[in-house]
Structure 1
Amino acid sequence: MGDGSAPVDMVLVEFPGNDFNGEIFAELERLVDAKTITVLDALFVRKDADGSVRWIEADEAEDTRLSRLVGAPAGLFAEEDVEAVAADLDFDSSVAMLLFEHTWAAELARGVRRANGRVLDWARVPASAISELSGVVGDE
């Protein structure tokens, strides 16, 4: 993990009908290879049609691309958070929980420090707010 200068996001991606074909891996690999993000942890939560829930760590996934992106499970997801996600999940659906660091932001923050500057604030503005302000309709 980085030095704390880069923002870290958790993203939840739902796959209704447990229809996960692995297409997301190509984009994650592209972002990692470009040093845009670093995947810190990943976990799949699957709820079957009968309501039974299963957690799948990155190193247990059938597709080995995820374990190559993440490495050994970092254990950064709190059990109670995963249980809350599972409780809210529709039957016969899955959620990919991804925790990633914005590597590009760490590089920018280091550049600011080298220029004798300080990052005073860094806030995420939701895309919907930008769309509303600019009158642009984005695809969310």
Structure 2
Amino acid sequence: MQVSFHTLALVTAGIFLLIAIVWLFAPARFLTAWGVKDSAETRLIGRRVAALYAGVAVMFFIARDAEPSLPRTALSVGLVSTCLLLAVSGVVEWLQGRASKGILAAAVIELLLSLLFVQGMSSAPAL
């Protein structure tokens, strides 16, 4: 399944914006789903993470019409790196018993996004 960068950028922007909104206004949703204790400290971290997710959403929304180029490849490689690290850390946290199996849904989405971006980079300029 080949997905255009335009579509992938819009979907990514939407997903990341939704994640940012949840972390900002309802962090207990993720914390509870992941089996992590909801506390003032975890909500503080969640609100700070929301800013990062929102920033990535804005970057991909603005770049949605970018032609194949080194900056577009850099955005894609950065997202793949981020999502793969998040997926691996989620699985490790689950295996170590620090998170419930609910975190695996996030890891699957992160892995899927990574694979879609890697597939889309097959014709992109090399770094």
Instruction: Using structure 1 for the length normalisation, give the TM-score.
Output: 0.26
Question: Which has a greater percent of strand?
Answer: 1
Q: Which has the higher contact order (CA 8 A, sep 6+)?
A: 1
Looking at secondary structure, tell me which structure has more helix per residue: 2
TM-score where L is the length of structure 2: 0.28
Larger Rg: 1
